[in-house]
Structure 1
Amino acid sequence: MAKWGQGDPRWIVEEREDGTNVNNWHWTERDATSWSKKKFHELLVGLVVENEAGRCEISELKQVEGEASCSSRKGKLIFFYEWNIKLGWKGTIKESDGKHKGLIEIPNLSEENEVDDTEVNVSKRKGDGDILKELMKTAGTARVREALGDYLKALKTEFTIGMILPTKPTQELTVKRKLSENALQASPPVALGVRIPTVALHMTELFDTAVEQLYRIFTMKDLVQKFSKSPAVVEAEKGGKFQMFHGNITGEYVELLTNKKIVMKWRCRNWPEEHYATVALDFLPTPGQTELQLDCKGVPVCKEENMKFCWQKQHFEEIKSLLQLTTLNG
């Protein structure tokens, strides 16, 4: 396949505001190389894996070689990507507090291979600390492949917005799953200044604790830091800001009804710039337990699975662990 800029000029039609490329009949090509490099940094740097033996984190994007592009013809999208990626990681052994560094190499991320089959090679500097290398080869490799999968989803959704134009003014963008009512809600410009498709989530979880106790876990800084295992900013009042997981989650409190409801503007760092979802938490008392109902509107389609993982693994399960390990004082 020809590299970007080397296609036959008789057939490639750059995007034009005057609508000359009617219904995308001509070949339209968009270079995704620069966008992809930024997306790899957003998705990979800062990834953490941890177990009882140690903790590892991808600390830097050392090298990204390759290219990516998306082409459309007769309303169909064709993707090309080929990448060689090198990452630096660092880790700490909990028992000895020993620190170690290593590399992760992804020699061939391309459309020829499934993400789950993509080669991920982990190495470590000489010396002890093989327990950290093993952690990165297992849990670390899984998280890297998950992030690569998120990149491909974003390439095929977020990056391609606007490439397939409607053939009629009333035609709407559709996705495989049911979108929220504000699926095409207006938001500040992203990429080419177009609207992004979003999805609504609904989750429920039961906690073996009283409503008052669970509400405090979401609104008190020291408790948020305990279940998130990271520094946090918590200004639990209307208009107050919050920040969690080393700045990967930020937002603002919109409404707080003590022991009943919390509504927040919510965004993840790797979402399109300035885009926020609306998260509502309803606290419902049941005999001996509290049912928490989560309703979230405005999640970018390509981030749906990440959002579910964030709430299920990083919130619900960690809060339950906190409740089991400690008795919270009133």
Structure 2
Amino acid sequence: MKAPLITRDDQPVATGVIEESEFIRAPVSAVFRAITTAALLDEWGAGPARFQAKAGGRFFLWDGDMEGMVVEIQAPNRLVFTLREREWKEEWRDSLVLFTLTEERGGTRITLRHSGFTDRRTLERHREGWGEYYIGPLKAFCEERHRS
């Protein structure tokens, strides 16, 4: 589903996609558990969190500042969910996040694709936030727990 091309200034617009990839020195199964288990999300910094790891399951991160619904889950390699910020207007549609996790020598390649933003400013804020508040802490947490 596509976002509206252009509407009023305060309405959703097609603004692009965030695509990021990071190598984590930890097994695929461990990284997947860290992004789909509320207690582990709490440990590495996305909490307080609730996460129902099943299609149709609801989740809340950062004490409800972000929320969504799991669209698809194929453990331990694929997770797709809707995402919206608490502050978004009711009429704005949810964004869509896809994580793919692939085994690579010595660890896991996690790839993020995030689309469906309300505006360019929101896209850029999320681009920074994914690295600083999600991927970076996730990587540090997983690598610390799985040092060889």
Equivalent residue, structure 2, for 1:309? 128
- State the alpha-carbon separation in 1 of the partners of residues 110 and 104 from structure 2: 10
Task: Determine if the alignment matches structure 1 residue 283 to structure 2 residue 101.
Answer: yes
TM-score (normalizing by structure 1):
0.40
TM-score (normalizing by structure 2):
0.85
- State the alpha-carbon separation in 1 of the partners of residues 16 and 130 from structure 2: 15
Contact 2:26 2:146 in 1 (8 A): no
- State the alpha-carbon separation in 2 of the partners of residues 207 and 291 from structure 1: 6
Contact 1:228 1:244 in 2 (8 A): no
Q: Alignment partner of 1:246: what SS?
A: helix
Contact 1:184 1:198 in 2 (8 A): no
Equivalent residue, structure 2, for 1:299? 117
Contact 1:182 1:198 in 2 (8 A): no
Quote how far apart the aligned CAs of 1:237 are.
0.5
- State the alpha-carbon separation in 1 of the partners of residues 107 and 144 from structure 2: 17
Cα 1:246/1:289, change in 2 over 3 Å: same
Task: Determine if the alignment matches structure 1 residue 184 to structure 2 residue 1.
Answer: no
Task: Determine if the alignment matches structure 1 residue 227 to structure 2 residue 44.
Answer: yes
- State the alpha-carbon separation in 2 of the partners of residues 229 and 217 from structure 1: 10
Q: Equivalences for 1:56-205 in 2 at 5 Å?
A: 182-184=2-4, 195-205=12-22
Q: Alignment partner of 2:54: what SS?
A: coil
Quote how far apart the aligned CAs of 1:247 are.
1.1
Q: Alignment partner of 2:73: what SS?
A: strand
- State the alpha-carbon separation in 1 of the partners of residues 52 and 79 from structure 2: 13
- State the alpha-carbon separation in 1 of the partners of residues 36 and 47 from structure 2: 15
Cα 1:287/1:231, change in 2 over 3 Å: same
- State the alpha-carbon separation in 2 of the partners of residues 324 and 197 from structure 1: 36
Q: Alignment partner of 1:236: what SS?
A: coil
Cα 1:183/1:221, change in 2 over 3 Å: same
| Corresponding letter in the other structure for 2:124 | E
Which structure has the larger Rg? 1
Q: 1:239 aligns with which of 56, 63, 72?
A: 56
Task: Determine if the alignment matches structure 1 residue 209 to structure 2 residue 26.
Answer: yes
| Corresponding letter in the other structure for 2:94 | Y
Q: Which runs of 4+ in 1 moved over 6 A?
A: none
Q: Alignment partner of 1:230: what SS?
A: coil
Q: Alignment partner of 2:53: what SS?
A: coil
Please list every run of 5 or more consecutive structure 1 residues that lacks an aligned counterpart in the other structure: 1-180
| Corresponding letter in the other structure for 2:95 | A
Cα 1:267/1:259, change in 2 over 3 Å: same
Quote how far apart the aligned CAs of 1:324 are.
3.9
Percent of aligned pairs with the same amino acid: 21
Equivalent residue, structure 2, for 1:321? 140
Contact 2:26 2:143 in 1 (8 A): no
Q: Alignment partner of 1:196: what SS?
A: coil
Quote how far apart the aligned CAs of 1:239 are.
0.4
Please list every run of 5 or more consecutive structure 2 residues that lacks an aligned counterpart in the other structure: none
Q: 1:270 aligns with which of 87, 91, 114?
A: 87
RMSD between aligned residues: 2.5
Q: Quick one: higher RCO (CA 8 Å, sep 6+), 1 or 2?
A: 2
| Corresponding letter in the other structure for 1:311 | W
Which structure has the highest helix share of the two?
2
Q: How many equivalent pairs are there?
A: 144
